[in-house]
Amino acid sequence: MNSKKPLLTAAAGLALLGTAGCGSTGTAQDAASDEAAGASTPAASSGTASSGAPATGGQYQNGEYTATGSYIPPSNTKEEVTVSLTLSDGVVTDVEVSTSGNHPTSKRYQAEFTGGVQQEVVGKPLDEVKVDKIASSSLTSSGFNKALDEIKSEAAR
Amino acid sequence: MESWSFEAIGTQWEISAEAPLDAETRAAVTGLVSEYDAALSRFRSDSILSGLSHGGGTVSLPRYTAELFSLFDSLDRLTGGRMNPLVGGSLELLGYGPGYRLTPQGPAAGAPPWPEAVRWESGARDDVRLSLDRPGTLDVGAAGKGQLVDLVWELVTGRGYASVVVDAGSDMRHCGPGLRVGLEHPFDPNQAIGVVHLQDRALCASATNRRAWGNGLHHVLDASTGLPVRAVAATWVLARNAMTADGLATALFLTDPSSLAAEFQFDYVRMFSDGRAEYSPAMAGVLFS
């Protein structure tokens, strides 16, 4: 099972290169690479082919390709994913993925999925937290905000 | 941003986009939501799935349910049978079923094994044929609402709308300029425990506090025992679509993130009833400290 992780990570990096915005309506029928596309926020990407380049008509030339994608995780520390792969007769024969690991926890990404543990969560009153929406189990943010408004106006009396 | 709100499948919906949705799009959304509910609701005795509750048998369902059942196949396997749509029968025993009796109807019971009891395949008439070898109650709620969010989001973006956000009771699918989303404290709805940045993917949450009906009974059950889970209090999952995020948010009550990471790409925060929280690497810095 663990051997699958680097592949998924590779797919995430590759998907960065081709992910469009709103229009790309990935459905669950798509391949695993699409599954990975949502893992990161596409910010910028650059690609270099050390030998050969994709030809037209869906054919790919043999060679070793390297591309780098960057994304901003919610920690707001820019991360880069570099993917190198070897193509032989249209088949990927080798894949290497490296991450910049700017944030300390990102370094562990490939080895271990639990990034961290906080011994005690800290709640902050919503008054002090500017958000666009609230993620709760089954209450809407609009209903939530209305309830909050009511509470606030009552408390202000 | 223009937004449109309505109530359906027992929750509040809010759809926002750069331009207001025209009447035709709204009608299409309403039609889609009704179709989904009529096919899959556990709370409607006239739904297609409810037809299985008396003697089992085979039903014909919309084509898109193949993705849903495929996800459930994976989650059942990855949780070792602890997450299983046949838990619907166990939920009803505890009182959470049509009529909302909310009093236990008998001793807790585990669900029949999903891979043994259920067969499904894409049918010849652009449908999905699902067979159940015994009477049973399928509850697809663990990922169904998320899938409906996706289907609505795809419908609206497919009609050319930009920056579309579909939010059904805080199961969200997003594209466009990023949003700051507060993670509601599971023990205090006036507080948030952190803020995530949501952009071009989906965010779903699950918690045991909302749909609880006393004496330790709530709606997240371990399918192998038929009893409510206790250690995890709330989960939040970011994934590429809402169906996946919704399903994984429930699965994280029943298994460890690492077992799910073998087959799914996602980020998560999960909080335990003792106040502890753990999170995936990209979520570092999301929780208040």
Query: Over the stretch A20-33, which tens digit does the pLDDT of each residue have?
Result: 346 544 333 333 33
- Identify whether the C-beta of residue B97 lies closer than 8 Å to the C-beta of residue B53: no
Distance from C-alpha of A70 to C-alpha of A73, rounded to nearest angstrom: 10
- Closest-CA distance, A52 to chain B, in angstroms, reads 31
Among partner residues A74, A77, A137, which is closest to B205 by beta-carbon distance? A137
| d(C-alpha B237, C-alpha B202), whole Å | 8
| Residue A56 in this model has a pLDDT that exceeds 70 | no
Structure tokens at A143: 């209903």
Question: Do B40 and B47 form a contact (C-beta atoms < 8 A)?
Answer: yes
Tokens 């952009």, located at residue: B199
CA distance B207 to B228: 12
Is A63 an 8 Å CB contact of chain B?
A: no
A136 at interface of B, judged by CB pairs closer than 8 A: yes
Q: Which residue of B has its CA nearest to A118?
A: B277
How far off is chain A from B75, nearest CA to CA, in Å? Answer: 14
- How far is it, in rounded angstroms, from Cα A125 to Cα B171? 22
Neighbours of B24 (CB within 10 A): 9
Chain B nearest-CA distance from A154, in A, is 14
CB contact under 8 A, B283 and A114: no
Q: Using a CB-CB distance cutoff of 8 angstroms, which residues of chain A are in contact with residue B241?
A: 26-28, 38
Q: Which residues of A touch B175 (CB under 8 A)?
A: 21-22
- Amino acid letter at B88? G
Query: Is the CB of B12 inside 8 Å of chain A's CB atoms?
Result: yes
Radius of gyration of chain B (CA): 19
Q: Which domains does chain A have, with CATH numbers?
A: 40-155 (3.30.390)
A8 in contact with B at a CB cutoff of 8 Å? yes
Nearest neighbour of B286 by CB, restricted to A11, A74, A132: A74
Q: How far apart are CA B118 and CA B62, in angstroms?
A: 17
Residue-wise pLDDT tens for chain B (289 aa)?
Answer: 789 999 988 888 999 999 999 999 999 999 999 999 999 987 788 999 988 888 889 999 999 999 999 999 999 999 988 888 887 666 666 655 555 555 556 656 677 889 999 999 998 889 999 999 988 888 898 899 999 999 999 999 999 999 999 999 889 999 999 999 999 998 888 899 999 999 999 999 988 754 444 444 455 555 566 655 668 889 999 999 999 999 999 999 888 898 899 899 999 999 988 888 999 999 999 999 8
Query: Which pLDDT band holds residue A17 (cuts at 50, 70, 90)?
Result: very low
Is B162 in contact with A138 (Cβ distance < 8 A)? no
Please name the residues in contact with B24: beta carbons below 8 A apart, sequence gap of 6 or more: none
Q: Which helix H or strand E contains B7, and what residues bound it? A: strand B2-8
Query: Across the interface, do B241 and A76 touch by the CB < 8 Å criterion?
Result: no
Scored b (16 or more CB within 10 A) or e, A98-122 reads ebebebebbeebbeebbbbebeebe
**Which residues lie closer than 8 Å to B55 by C-beta, 6 or more apart?**
B135
Q: What is the ipTM of this complex?
A: 0.77
Q: Which of B284, B108, B102 lies closest to B194 in space, CA to CA?
A: B284
Q: How many CB atoms lie within 10 A of CB A50?
A: 9
CA distance B187 to chain A (A): 10
Q: What is the pLDDT of residue B160?
A: 96
Q: Quick one: how far is CA B61 from the chain centroid?
A: 18
A3 touches chain B (CB under 8 A): no
Q: Which SS3 state, helix, strand or coil, does residue B282 take?
A: helix
Cα–Cα distance, A156 to A13 (Å, whole number):
50
Helix (H) or strand (E) holding A140: none
Tokens 């939040």 label which residue? B236
Residues within 8 A of A (CB atoms), B 54-93 only: 66-67, 70-71
Per-window interface: A 94-123 vs B, CB < 8 A: 103-106, 108-109, 112-123
The reply to whether the predicted model has a pTM over 0.80 is no
CB count in 10 Å sphere of residue B188: 13
